[in-house]
C-alpha cells in the first residue's frame, strides 16, 4: 500500500471518528471483503466470519486511537484485530460443545463426560472439507451448479430448475451425475493417504 493510500485511510478514520458516516462507509467498503474472506477461511463458518467482521469495525469505531499510522497500514491493523477475534472464536469452540447429548426428538440421553474432539480430529475434518471444496470446484459447471443449488444451498428441484433455466428432470439428472463424479473424486482423495502408507 502506498503512502498516499495510508494517508487517505488515516484521514478517513479521523473523519469517521468525528461522526462522518460517509468516511466510515468508504473504509468499510475498502476492507470488509478482505476481512470477511480471512475470517471465513480461518473459521470455516459464515456466521462466525460475519460476527468477526462486525466486531473488527466496531472496535475501529469505538476506539480509533488504537490504530497508530506510524506502526503500519490500517489494513494490517485490521487484520491483526480480525486475527485476535478469530483466535478467540477458535478457543471457544470446544467449550461450546453441549454437555448433554440430544436424541433426534430433543430429549437428553445422558451427560457427555469427555469431548472426543482433538486437534488431530479437527485437522482431519478441515482436510476433508478442503477436499470436498476442491472436488466440487473440479466438477463441470452444470453439475457443480446442480450440486451447489440442491446440496449446499438446500433448494428444491423446482427452485434449482428455475434458477438454472432448465426442466426439473435436467436438474435431477445433473445432480445425480454431479454426486457420482463427486463421490469418485472424494474416493480418489481418500485413497491417496492409503497408497502413501502402503508404499512405506
* pLDDT tier at 117, thresholds 50, 70, 90: low
According to CATH, the topology of domain 3-93 is Rna Polymerase Sigma Factor; Chain: A (1.10.1740)
- Cα(6)–Cα(189) distance, rounded to whole angstroms? 44
Nearest to 58 by CA among 29, 91, 92, 28: 28
Highest mean pLDDT among 26-35, 131-140, 189-198: 26-35
The answer, yes or no, to whether residue 177 has pLDDT greater than 60, is: yes
Average pLDDT over the chain, rounded to an integer: 75
Greater confidence (112 vs 53) lies with 53
Bridge partners, 100 (sequence order): 111
Q: Give the gyration radius of the chain's Cα atoms.
A: 23
Greater confidence (39 vs 97) lies with 39
Res 189: pLDDT: 65
- Cα(184)–Cα(162) distance, rounded to whole angstroms? 28
Res 97: pLDDT: 44
Q: Which three cell numbers stand for residue 107?
A: 430429549
pTM assigned to the model: 0.46
The answer, yes or no, to whether residue 85 has pLDDT greater than 80, is: yes
Kindly report the three-state secondary structure assignment for every residue of the chain: CCHHHHHHHHHHHHHHHCCCHHHHHHHHHHHHHHHHHHHHHHHCCHHHHHHHHHHHHHHHHHCHHHCCHHHCCHHHHHHHHHHHHHHHHHHHHHHHCCCEEECCCCCEEEECCCCCCCHHHHHHHHHHHHHHHHHHHHCCHHHHHHHHHHHHCCCCHHHHHHHHCCCHHHHHHHHHHHHHHHHHHHHHHHHHHHHHHHHC
The answer, yes or no, to whether residue 158 has pLDDT greater than 80, is: yes
Our CA angle for 65, 69, 72, nearest 5°, is: 125
The 10s digit of each residue's pLDDT in 22-58 is 888 899 999 999 888 888 877 778 888 899 999 999 8
Burial 60-70 (b: 16+ CB within 10 A, else e): beeeeeebeee
User: What is the domain partition of the chain in residue ranges?
Assistant: 3-93, 119-199
The answer, yes or no, to whether residue 168 has pLDDT greater than 70, is: yes
Q: Please tell us whether the domain made up of 119-199 is placed in CATH 1.10.10.10.
A: yes
Res 199: pLDDT: 47
Res 51: pLDDT: 92
Greater confidence (7 vs 3) lies with 7
Res 61: pLDDT: 83
Amino acid at each position: 500500500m502506498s503512502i498516499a493510500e495510508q494517508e487517505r485511510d488515516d484521514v478517513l478514520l479521523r473523519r469517521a471518528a468525528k461522526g462522518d458516516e460517509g468516511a466510515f462507509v468508504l473504509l468499510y467498503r475498502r476492507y470488509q471483503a478482505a476481512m470477511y474472506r480471512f475470517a471465513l477461511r480461518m473459521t470455516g463458518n459464515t456466521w462466525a466470519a460475519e460476527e468477526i467482521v462486525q466486531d473488527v469495525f466496531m472496535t475501529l469505531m469505538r476506539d480509533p486511537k488504537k490504530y497508530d499510522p506510524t506502526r503500519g497500514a490500517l489494513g494490517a491493523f485490521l487484520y491483526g484485530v480480525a486475527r485476535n477475534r478469530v483466535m478467540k472464536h477458535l478457543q471457544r469452540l470446544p467449550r461450546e460443545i453441549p454437555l448433554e447429548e440430544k436424541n433426534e426428538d430433543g430429549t437428553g440421553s445422558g451427560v457427555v463426560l469427555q469431548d472426543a474432539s482433538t486437534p488431530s480430529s479437527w485437522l482431519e475434518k478441515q482436510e476433508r472439507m478442503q477436499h470436498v471444496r476442491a472436488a466440487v470446484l473440479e466438477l463441470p459447471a452444470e453439475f457443480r451448479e446442480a450440486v451447489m443449488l440442491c446440496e449446499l444451498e438446500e433448494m428444491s428441484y423446482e427452485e434449482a430448475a428455475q434458477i438454472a433455466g432448465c426442466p426439473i428432470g435436467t436438474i435431477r439428472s445433473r445432480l445425480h451425475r454431479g454426486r457420482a463424479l463427486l463421490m469418485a473424486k472424494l474416493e480418489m482423495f481418500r485413497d491417496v493417504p492409503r497408497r502413501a502408507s502402503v508404499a512405506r
